[in-house]
Amino acid sequence: MKAQNWDKAAKCLEESLKLMQEAGSEMTLGRTVVALVLVNLVREDSIEASKVFQAWGGYCDPDQTTACHQMINGFNEDDAEKAKMGLTHNCMGSLDVEYQRIIKLIKLPEGDLEAAAKSYGASKATSAPAPSSSSNTSHSHGVDPSPAADYGMTKSQREEDSRSKVVEEERDRELAAGGGDDDDDDDDEGLC
């Protein structure tokens, strides 16, 4: 770690995970999974971090799971705020000092806030960092984005919730622009 040989560190951590699993020492596996995710992120390999979490994430406690989801999804979606939330999550304090130092070395993604705002129907973004790419695609690699407020909801429920929010925002914009016929809308309130 101190020599910043990240490839060797990743191999050592993965070997440690396998040995701990074989020995039945699963109490600290979650912290080691988080450490391996961090090493892959400092290597700027969010795809490998995602694969690690897919393979070993079941050993993480709920806080570690949330932090890993936020980090991986933040990097895959170029969402610096989400990535930062994961990197500064409370569970990071339980990691060894070497891994806490790695957090400071990880380069946050430079997300395109304006494009994201447009895709969700927002009228304008409050502030936007310089975009790193014009792509608006998400590469979650099997890790389903799950903000804390959405836990307990299925993916289809989150999608439906997202669609209804977009419809609401569009309706609000139309009403604000005077595009709605107020006479007919008052009579139909509450009807399907």
Q: Is pLDDT above 60 for 190?
A: no
Name, in order, each residue with C-beta under 8 angstroms of 43's C-beta and a sequence gap of 6 or more.
Answer: 6, 7, 10
Is residue 70 very low, low, confident or very high in pLDDT (cuts 50, 70, 90)?
Answer: very high
67 compared with 93, residue with greater pLDDT? 67
Q: Cα–Cα distance between 155 and 13 in angstroms, integer?
A: 32
- Terminus-to-terminus CA distance in the chain, angstroms? 62
Q: How far is CA 42 from CA 39, 66, 68, in A?
A: 5, 19, 14
Q: Is pLDDT above 60 for 191?
A: no
pLDDT at 153: 60
Share of the chain above pLDDT 70, in %: 67
* Closest alpha carbon to 155 in 166, 167, 168, 142: 142
Region of 112 (left: φ > 0; alpha: ψ -120 to 50; beta: rest) is: beta
Arithmetic mean of pLDDT over the chain: 74
